[in-house]
Structure 1
Amino acid sequence: MFRVPATIAAIFVIAFGGAMLSAAYALKATVGFGSISLGPWKAWPHAQTEKADPYAKAHRARAGRLLLGGAEGLVFIAGADSSGARLQTGCDYTIQGQTPPARFWTLHVTDNDDSLLPVDQVFPAAYHSQNVLKQQNGTFEITASTLPRSGNWLALDGQDQPFKLVLTLFDTPTAGSSRLIELQMPQIVAGECRDG
């Protein structure tokens, strides 16, 4: 008597659960379409605009974050070094070169879930265009490592795990430019790796 309704209910539960899991997976897998890649750096210039695709809008709503408008700035994310190898906290990296033109920029480290890496408060966990030491030609060199370094040192968490570098350009003319692909971005060069 209850066999048919129970079967129908089970089918609905499986279908609904599968749909929810596939939607959650799709939102984790991509920020949306229309990304640009400049070496190891990726950006989604239309993710916060009216031109954003449905996945980008859903990703933004799920994350609950306010993104920069097209005229406000642009966020670049790197999960690999310039050779294509995944970034790991057990290795040292040198971020070198210069950023595209911007009134202000910041650089910080996150884990794969986009949360800040937990480092001791006395260690430098981020840099910006006003506190980074630069060469006379305007280039800079930042070393990301678990071990202290002289110069610009960006502290990493001691636990060996993948991480991302997040470079945010504020008030930059490149945000609304159609020539983003021609920008010069900092290189991420891998150094010594330690066994975790």
Structure 2
Amino acid sequence: MRLLIGLLLAFAVAASVGLGTTLYALQESTPFGSFTVGAWTAWPRTGTADIDPYARALIARSGELPMGAGDGVAFVATKDDNGAALDGRCDVIVSGVTPQARFWTLTLYDPEGKLVGNALNRHGFSSQEIVRKSDGAIEITVAPRARTGNWLPSGGVDRYTLVMRFYDSPIGVASRTGRETPMPSVKVQSCT
């Protein structure tokens, strides 16, 4: 009888620890195989057969469709270059050069993955509609109030996420060019 109780207790502890750590990994959005360039992080294997089981579970839970390896790669920024969380009440400047790609988009999401609402219904920019500097660099201001130039309204939300997707681009796992990728900087200019 003691053996049976000991086995049941060991099974309960193992199940609790295993399920608890899996739930933690799914809630913290920590798939393996990421690489970081400045404030931007990408998981290029999520659209391939080499996807790790935690990323597969995250995708199944969210219902999102990841970009395939042949389509491109998505970079996510939840913090600026100095590690501060992106705050919708601050003016944040996304500036610099972008990696080589046929087409790219920059989109603003809330922490739950929904588009940030604003009066203009402007949720992002694409490479075809952006106004570039004379040297080809971009400069986009994410701010709660209107700004001149490329302005993306943050709606004054507490936290947000920037997602930059590059389509038909050589960036990825197979090319090994991830860490050398020139990504725009993300800097807080001022807070109100």
Q: Same fold (TM over 0.5)?
A: yes
Aligned to 1:66: 65
- Could you tell me whether the CA contact under 8 Å between 1:31 and 1:59 is conserved in 2? no
Aligned to 2:182: 184
* Mapped pair 1:163 → 2:154: no
- Kindly tell me the number of residue pairs found equivalent between the two proteins: 185
Tell me: CA distance 1:18–1:89, structure 2 relative to 1, closer, same or farther (3 Å).
same
RMSD across aligned C-alpha pairs, in angstroms? Answer: 2.3
* Mapped pair 1:23 → 2:25: no
Tell me: CA distance 1:177–1:73, structure 2 relative to 1, closer, same or farther (3 Å).
same
Q: For 1:17 and 1:179, how far apart are their aligned partners in 2?
A: 40
- Could you tell me whether the CA contact under 8 Å between 2:94 and 2:185 is conserved in 1? yes
Q: For 1:164 and 1:47, how far apart are their aligned partners in 2?
A: 19
Query: AA paired with 2:142?
Result: A
Q: For 1:16 and 1:114, how far apart are their aligned partners in 2?
A: 30
Counterpart pick for 2:126 among 105, 128, 134: 128
> What SS is found at the alignment partner of 1:102?
coil
* Mapped pair 1:94 → 2:93: yes
1:123 CA displacement:
5.0
Counterpart pick for 2:170 among 155, 170, 173: 173
User: For 1:131-180, what per-residue CA distance to the aligned partner results, in whole angstroms no more than 9, with x for missing partners?
Assistant: 00001221110000001001100001124x11111000011111342121
1:76 CA displacement:
0.2
**Consecutive unaligned residues in structure 1, runs of 5 or more:** 1-11
Q: For 1:73 and 1:89, how far apart are their aligned partners in 2?
A: 28
- Could you tell me whether the CA contact under 8 Å between 2:46 and 2:67 is conserved in 1? no
> What SS is found at the alignment partner of 2:41?
strand
Q: For 2:90 and 2:20, how far apart are their aligned partners in 1?
A: 34
Greater shift in the superposed pair: 110-119 or 125-134:
110-119
* Mapped pair 1:139 → 2:137: yes
1:104 CA displacement:
0.4
1:99-110 correspondence to structure 2 within 5 Å = 99-110=98-109
Q: For 1:22 and 1:155, how far apart are their aligned partners in 2?
A: 37
> What SS is found at the alignment partner of 1:74?
strand
User: For 1:56-104, what per-residue CA distance to the aligned partner results, in whole angstroms no more than 9, with x for missing partners?
Assistant: 1111111112111111010000011111111111111010012100100
In the superposition, the TM-score normalised over structure 1's length comes to 0.85
- Could you tell me whether the CA contact under 8 Å between 2:35 and 2:43 is conserved in 1? yes
1:25 CA displacement:
2.6
The percentage of aligned residue pairs carrying the same residue is: 36
Aligned to 1:46: 45
Query: AA paired with 2:126?
Result: H
In the superposition, the TM-score normalised over structure 2's length comes to 0.87
**Consecutive unaligned residues in structure 2, runs of 5 or more:** 1-10
> What SS is found at the alignment partner of 2:113?
coil
